[in-house]
């Protein structure tokens, strides 16, 4: 693994050149269907091959699970239409975690022990993954997080993968770029202290600001599910920060943004991965102006891969709406599992695990994708800021547009 310092420097170089967000993909880029494989078609694989997916289809985090389900089903349909697995047909069983850790455990247990799936995508939330992934690990079944960004996800075992960039691979570069472009000097930190994802994001934010010498004027916490953040925000704003850094899931992110603006704060807000849902922008409206977020993919990337262009068009056709980052990662995850099954020419769980670990330079909507030695993703992140209700690339010009 690269050292944290080296990763930070690399991200500071990479992130300024990254993509725009939430606008139409340039027509000049030719669509390229998924399915450029490093392996020949399976020679012996046949019959039904079943994978599972544990997603937040209901509950407080359902804003993420719905797009993930649509994207996974799209990928499975395309894989079968293309005959990607030779004589075999790929099936998927969806289970709803209801945004609850215990339900995620139950869903994972059903898929792995009762349904005997080859591999599992999800769960949606990092805290669910920390609860449920050990079930897959103990049963020697691949589980791939497609939206798990907390520190330590893949430390749970050799069968645990993720294709979602961890916060530690995104946030430091975004904070570094924002500090350089916008002259940030004082920050107030707010996070949920009862969720693995939000605590992890907070720790990455705190360390990044500290390393840059930014004064932390205050730190405030809340519990997941809270709806009133006025006391915490009032305390932070008393320190006169020029940026609020918030690690939150979508439901709380919306209320924190609205309440900060209602209290008269008109400065920048840097959010973690939980802010990446279009629903956050829709529900906060003009109050999201100046929100800065790092991410793994964006529909408005001025230099998208052909696979990204193809994915966007196909998703819009079947879903009737544009995909978000969570959909892109879920779609890519399904194709990565299909590539592993194809290369293994087997539905044996251990063989699929080994083939998945060997994926290198696979063309996807996220970019050219590889897993590192710790089964974490390797591809380029995105830096973006909200201007006039949409994400655009974070530059000196767009960063200062609201000044």
Tell me the mean pLDDT per 10 residues along the chain, length 403. Answer: 39 40 54 92 95 97 96 98 96 97 98 98 97 98 96 96 92 92 96 94 96 97 96 98 96 97 97 88 95 87 89 97 95 98 98 97 95 93 86 82 58
Query: Residue 318's CB: how many other CB atoms inside 10 A?
Result: 12
Q: How far apart are the first and last CA of the chain?
A: 40
Map out the domains of the chain as residue ranges. Answer: 31-165+302-371, 169-295+383-399
> Residue 24 class from Cβ within 10 Å (0-12 exposed, 13-18 middle, 19+ buried)?
exposed
pLDDT of residue 83: 96
What is the C-alpha separation between 109 and 118, in angstroms, rounded? 13
What is the C-alpha separation between 329 and 325, in angstroms, rounded? 6
User: 3-class SS at 111?
Assistant: helix
CATH code for the structural domain at 169-295+383-399: 3.40.50.2300
Q: Is the peptide bond before 123 cis (omega within 30 degrees of 0)?
A: yes
What is the C-alpha separation between 267 and 128, in angstroms, rounded? 33
Does 169-295+383-399 match 31-165+302-371 at the fold level?
yes
What is the C-alpha separation between 106 and 255, in angstroms, rounded? 31
As given in the structure block, the two tokens for residue 384 are 């973006």
Fold of 31-165+302-371: Rossmann fold (3.40.50)
Residues 6 or more apart in contact with residue 173 via CB below 8 angstroms: 8, 11, 12, 14, 15, 294, 381, 383
What is the C-alpha separation between 171 and 290, in angstroms, rounded? 16
């Amino acid at each position: 693994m690269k050292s944290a310092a080296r990763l930070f420097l690399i991200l500071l170089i990479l992130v300024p050149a990254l993509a725009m967000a939430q606008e139409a993909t340039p027509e000049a880029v030719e669509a390229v269907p998924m399915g450029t494989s490093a392996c020949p078609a399976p020679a012996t694989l046949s019959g039904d091959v079943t994978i599972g997916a544990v997603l937040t289809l209901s509950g407080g985090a359902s804003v993420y699970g719905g797009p993930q389900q649509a994207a996974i089903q799209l990928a499975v349909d395309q894989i079968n239409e293309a005959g990607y697995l030779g004589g075999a047909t790929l099936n998927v069983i969806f289970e709803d975690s209801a945004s609850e850790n215990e339900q995620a455990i139950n869903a994972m247990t059903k898929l792995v022990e009762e349904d005997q799936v080859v591999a599992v995508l999800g769960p949606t939330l990092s805290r669910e993954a920390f609860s449920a992934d050990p079930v897959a690990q103990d049963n020697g079944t691949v589980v791939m997080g497609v939206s798990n960004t907390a520190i330590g996800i893949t430390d749970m075992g050799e069968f645990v993968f993720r294709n979602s960039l961890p916060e530690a691979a995104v946030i430091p570069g975004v904070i570094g770029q924002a500090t350089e472009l916008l002259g940030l000097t004082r920050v107030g930190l707010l996070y949920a202290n009862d969720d693995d994802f939000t605590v992890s994001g907070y720790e990455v934010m705190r360390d990044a600001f500290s390393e840059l010498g930014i004064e932390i004027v205050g730190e405030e916490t809340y519990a997941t599910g809270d709806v009133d953040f006025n006391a915490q925000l009032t305390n932070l704003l008393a320190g006169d920060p020029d940026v609020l850094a918030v690690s939150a899931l979508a439901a709380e992110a919306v209320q924190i943004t609205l309440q900060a603006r209602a209290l008269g704060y008109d400065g920048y807000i840097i959010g973690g991965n939980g802010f990446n849902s279009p629903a956050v922008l829709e529900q906060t409206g003009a109050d999201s102006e100046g929100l800065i977020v790092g991410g793994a993919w964006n529909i408005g990337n001025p230099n998208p891969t052909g696979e990204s262009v193809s994915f966007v068009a196909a998703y819009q056709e079947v879903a009737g709406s544009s995909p978000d980052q969570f959909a892109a990662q879920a779609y890519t995850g399904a194709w990565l599992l299909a590539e592993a099954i194809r290369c293994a020419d087997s539905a044996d769980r251990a063989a699929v695990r080994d083939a998945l670990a060997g994926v290198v330079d696979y063309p996807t909507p996220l970019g050219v994708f590889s897993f590192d030695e710790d089964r974490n993703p390797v591809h380029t992140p995105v830096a973006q800021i909200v201007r006039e209700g949409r994400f655009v690339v974070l530059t000196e010009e767009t960063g200062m547009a609201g000044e």
